[in-house]
Amino acid sequence: MRKTQTATKRLVAKASRALVAISVAACTVMGTAGVAVAEDYPDILLASFFNSAADKSDTLYTSVDGKNFQKIGVAYQDSSPNSTSDQWVTTTPYYVSTLSDPSIIYHNEWFYMLSGFTDHNACPGKFIPMIGYSKDLVNWAYPNSGSSTNVSLDPIPNSSLGSKFDIVAPEFFQTSSGDVYITFSAGYYGDFHGDLHNDTMYPYIVKLDYLEPGTQTPESNPGAAPKTSYGTAVRINLPESSSNRIDGSFYEENGTYYYIIKKDGVTNEIWSIKDMSQVSNPNAWTKVCANALTGFEGPSLVKFNGQYWLYTDKLADYPAGSADGKNGIFVQQSSSLSGGWWGNDRIGTKNLDGRDIPNRHGTVIVITDPTAKKVVWEARAKAGFVYEAGKDGVEEKVVNGVTEKYFWENGVMAQSKEAFVDGAWRWYDSDGTMAFSKDAYLPSSGGKWVRYNEKGEMIKGEDYRYGGWYYFDPITGAMCKGWRTLPDGRRVYYDDVTGQMVHGWRNIGGRNYHFNEVTGALM
């Protein structure tokens, strides 16, 4: 009876906690006394990724730790998320495409997102940038080049396509002085022609003369094209020649401009230059890192919390012959751009309720401008994520007779994430409460299922639950599946799907095995 009463209390408390979390988030948006004003908000990461090869939705995320990203909205929603053949945006009066591989910047109090393409029938010999913009990260104008002339290239890339070149990987770059550039690669991109990996691509860069919104109210006039003008795109000539460089992006620090780009289809190298007007001069470039990472693409580099963070999208088909076929965004860190990179882990991108969202190419930027920080933190609050300046550590509250535990880090409530608290790894649900007796999927270190006990601690070793035995790695806590030799010497098998220990007869890999009906030991 007591267990039933406790369970009922927890259900009632759960509903109350959800209302509390929503209320706190609303207070953050409204600027209630005691909640942070713009100057109080800490720096935060803002990311734009498209979801998958089928779902090209351009999704927006924030992160305060560099690895766990929370969804705060969608700029352009794919109307056919299960189809790889099109990527039209929902609820538009005419065909509007998602960006796919979206790049994002904050410029003069507006957020801009970028992609681009070529149409050599309508606009021969030109690169057509596609730029959308928003004031609040919620209402976005439809992507448009904002120009009738678009971007000429000088010289035309040396490939079999000549003046009918392909364009890939357009990326924004804004200098500390406010100048805006677009870098991209042009030439022959094999995948566009059924000729995968046979690329002849060269990096280019073009400076925008100016960039302004086409309207102050994109919520009521989303079709207003951005106001801009482009110069001529010039070749980026790096000292070491290569006919295959793709996915370039810039990062600036202390008057030096760093360029990270994928060479020969797999290797990400870092170069530096002091003068952006000299990008076509090979002698102006200095190699910083010959191989920051191999087997990944779409690099996006930032400096956050005193460390360099390199975000890349995993190549599904590398290395040849032993690839696992999986894409997705990973991040590694270093205290130096020249080397020492470590911890290349898959990032987590989640809804407020903790559900994982797939992630592909995009951009990560650090938001430091006070006005931009206010917009981003308010968008985060509207999505249900809670921030209260000054809060740190464990907090206990009694909700409908149940003592609930919360965890705060620098004012950020742990929500739908794991944290190491009081000597154990623990899971905090979407409303911030510490979870008890719960399974959770963590995307880091290749992805793993873990379990938390009735005290909220991560379980390691054997555990009996749901009518069967399970085993969790003694170090990582990962749920084991498949064959396992237990510490007592038993050779057992855990179901490939559920992770539960097998008893009796089971066909595994086309062969029948018999396991003890009680202990699960292979007979």
> Which CA distances in Å does 141 have to 47, 92, 237, 514?
18, 11, 35, 63
Shared domain for 187 and 126, answered yes or no, is yes
Looking at 320, 351, 382, which one is the last position of a domain? 382
DSSP class of 54:
S
Q: How far apart are CA 327 and CA 314, in angstroms?
A: 5
Q: Pick the last residue of a domain from 357, 382, 407.
A: 382
Q: Look up the CATH number of the domain holding residue 477.
A: 2.10.270.10
Kindly report, residue by residue over 172-218, the tens digit of the pLDDT: 999 999 999 999 999 999 999 999 999 999 999 999 999 999 999 99
Q: Does any domain span residue 387?
A: no
In a domain, 334, yes or no: yes
Query: Are 348 and 432 members of one domain?
Result: no
Q: What does the block give as tokens for 124? A: 């021969």
**pLDDT at site 443:** 67
Q: Which residue, among 353, 396, 401, has the nearest Cα to 7 in the 3D structure?
A: 401
Residue 303 covered by a domain: yes
How many domains does the chain divide into?
Answer: 2
Which residue segment(s) compose the domain that 361 sits in?
44-382
pLDDT at 38: 52
What residue ranges in 213-306 does DSSP mark as E strands? Answer: 227-230, 233-235, 245-253, 256-263, 267-273, 286-294, 296-304
Secondary structure, 3-state, 454-469 = CCCCECCEEEEECCEE
Report the predicted TM-score, pTM, of the whole model to 2 decimal places: 0.85
- Taking residue 249's Cβ as centre, other Cβ atoms within 10 Å add up to 20
Question: Is residue 185 within 8 Å of residue 168, measured between CB atoms?
Answer: yes
Dist. CA 396–CA 433, nearest whole Å: 9
Position 5 in a domain: no
Q: Are residues 269 and 399 in the same domain?
A: no
State the pLDDT at residue 441: 84
* pLDDT for res 30: 37
Report yes or no: 195 and 257 within 8 Å, Cβ to Cβ: no
Cα–Cα distance list, 79 to 7, 73, 100, 181 (Å): 41, 15, 13, 30
Which amino acid appears at position 229 of this protein? S
Give strand pairing partners of 233: 153
Output the domain CATH number for residue 79: 2.115.10
Question: pLDDT below 70 — which residues of the chain?
Answer: 1-39, 443-446
Per DSSP (E only), the strands in 77-150 are 103-107, 110-117, 126-134
Q: Please tell me whether residues 309 and 445 are part of one structural domain.
A: no
Q: Do residue 320 and residue 358 come from a single domain?
A: yes
CA distances from 318 to 187, 193, 466 (A): 23, 21, 39
273 and 342 share a domain? Answer: yes
* pLDDT (tens digit per residue) in 458-473: 999 999 999 999 999 9
Q: Are residues 330 and 478 in the same domain?
A: no
pLDDT at position 16 is 42
The answer on 372 and 238 residing in a single domain is yes
> What is the structure's pLDDT at 290?
98
The enclosing H or E element of 438 equals strand 438-442
Whether 13 is in a domain gets the answer: no
- β-partners of residue 68 are 348
17: enclosing H helix or E strand: helix 2-30
Does 401 share its domain with 464? yes
User: Residue 351's pLDDT is what?
Assistant: 92
Q: Residue 404 CB: number of other CB atoms within 10 A?
A: 21
Q: Are both 342 and 412 inside the same structural domain?
A: no
Asked whether residue 326 is domain-assigned, the answer is: yes
* Region of residue 158 (left: phi > 0; alpha: psi -120 to 50; beta: else): beta
Phi/psi for 504 (5° steps) reads 75, -155
| CB atoms closer than 10 angstroms to residue 517 | 9
